[in-house]
Chains A and B, each alone.
Chain A
């Protein structure tokens, strides 16, 4: 076997490339966020910040109130409030999506009732509709209900646009679980609801963990929907606030990068802590 060492070497090269490809942009972001504005604008670039500083983080979190550089003004407290908006919108939406999706996904996978197939496909098909199309169409309805620029309005839109996908993932997950425990419970005289609540639900723990993580990442990272539906800092999430730090002529990259790092922290932690579950569910979806 002469080809074996070559194959082995190739694999090591590919793995090194994967690590570099995934981590290099994030590493650059960290370095930039620690630079001063002068070093970040230096030509040729200073890859490692010669004067590392936490100023950018300080001005974002502390809010100096008059952070002027490259035309960027960081209003005092605006960023922390946006973080709070993102967190509260994400938590509320995730909770609602989980309830609706788990209950429907389980019922479509296990219970028999008239119209099951047609309803299931009608809902799943809506996952190919670009969410923006829905939001565009929803805009009038939300305006009538005075839900524009309100966190509640955003939660409502996230629930309606994310539930179909979440439900489909739950459905696939339940299909992979053994049916025997619930059948035994039904023979024991449980109702279908009791079999779901007391027997099936505890078995779905890993799937629910993965689903929560995926929904959190989707909602936290969403940009276009809140861009359309929010206009003031009262309801803007971080994803909408960050592009506002991009200056028209020059950009304060340390500030921008620091904002990016803070905004990616929660999803990164979720992805790293639950990555085994997430991988299980994403790859199971094929």
Chain B
């Protein structure tokens, strides 16, 4: 507190209180202006490049499909949404996406908890282990797709080779052509990239639980398993909510890994891939946008449900 404060005290010291409140007013007014100017770029960008296009997209989704190829747009209302939900490829894509999300979230939370419990306390070399843990998250998803594609390749894939060398299978499997295995492996590759983030969130959550809670309950004779069930899990709720939200939001828009592992093949197609196919391969903007907006609505709804269920603000 240097000269400035002194100066202000001298300024206002001998004068009536009206003067003081005016200088406070001036400061508040200045704060209002600075605040509004500082958020202006973000507000304008979000309004012009996110919210306005979304509104236009919604409008397009209510028009007839031939509008995008130069036809006269006709208002068909929610008809496109009905079409999309009746289409068998879209329905398959929805089923696949539900399976991806369920598999991914379950694996991420289970493995994430195990990783977090193993890593949250200090030990020698913990920094290096955490740095390595973070690596898969840093990789572009296209690259992780490429790495895993080598594993699952039917001809020269490493999974087939290993299984054959161990005499577990007699002939090579075309993993990405079978529906069950393909869905599981795609989910696994997705989990590989997201697990680091989920683990870090859970580690931070574990670190925020005071050590005394555990020592007190140990005195009372609680076993580690009971401690985990009755102390760790309840106190970890907020972190689990965040991990669950992030896991769901990321898995529901899965695309890159599938594209690299199996292209746009029907047996692994996700909702977003169906949108991509409808819009850019079949040039059907209206139906593509309708499906994309349905996906957006479901994502927002799920985030809100988690937020209410766990009593926290959505991420």
Contact = CB atoms under 8 A, between A and B. Distances in A.
Interface size grouping (class) on chain A = 35 or more
Interface residues of B, number: 107
A29 interface: yes
A45 B35 contact: no
B299 A136 contact: no
A224 B257 CA distance: 11
B96 to A, nearest CB: 16
Contacts of A104: 38-39, 41-43
Interface string B189-201: 0001000110011
A258 to B, nearest CB: 10
A58 B275 CA distance: 38
A26 B280 CA distance: 33
Interface string B24-37: 00011011111110
A106 B38 contact: yes
A11 B125 CA distance: 13
Interface of A: 3, 7, 10-11, 14-15, 18-19, 21-23, 25-26, 28-29, 32, 40-45, 47, 99-101, 103-104, 106-108, 111-114, 116, 119, 122-134, 136-138, 140-141, 156-157, 159-161, 163-164, 167-168, 184, 186-193, 196, 217, 220-224, 227-228, 238-239, 242-243, 246, 250-251, 253, 256-257, 259-260, 263-264, 267-268, 270-272, 275-276, 278-279, 282-286
Given A128-B315, A136-B288, A253-B156, 12 more contacts: A14-B115, A106-B38, A111-B38, A112-B31, A122-B51, A132-B276, A134-B49, A156-B49, A187-B1, A223-B256, A228-B280, A283-B200
Interface of B: 1-5, 7-8, 27-28, 30-36, 38-39, 41-43, 45-46, 48-51, 53-54, 56-57, 60, 114-115, 118-119, 127, 129-151, 153, 155-158, 161-162, 164-165, 172, 192, 196-197, 200-201, 203-205, 224, 238-239, 242-243, 249, 252-253, 255-256, 259-260, 272, 275-276, 279-280, 285, 288-289, 292-293, 295-296, 299-300, 303, 314-315
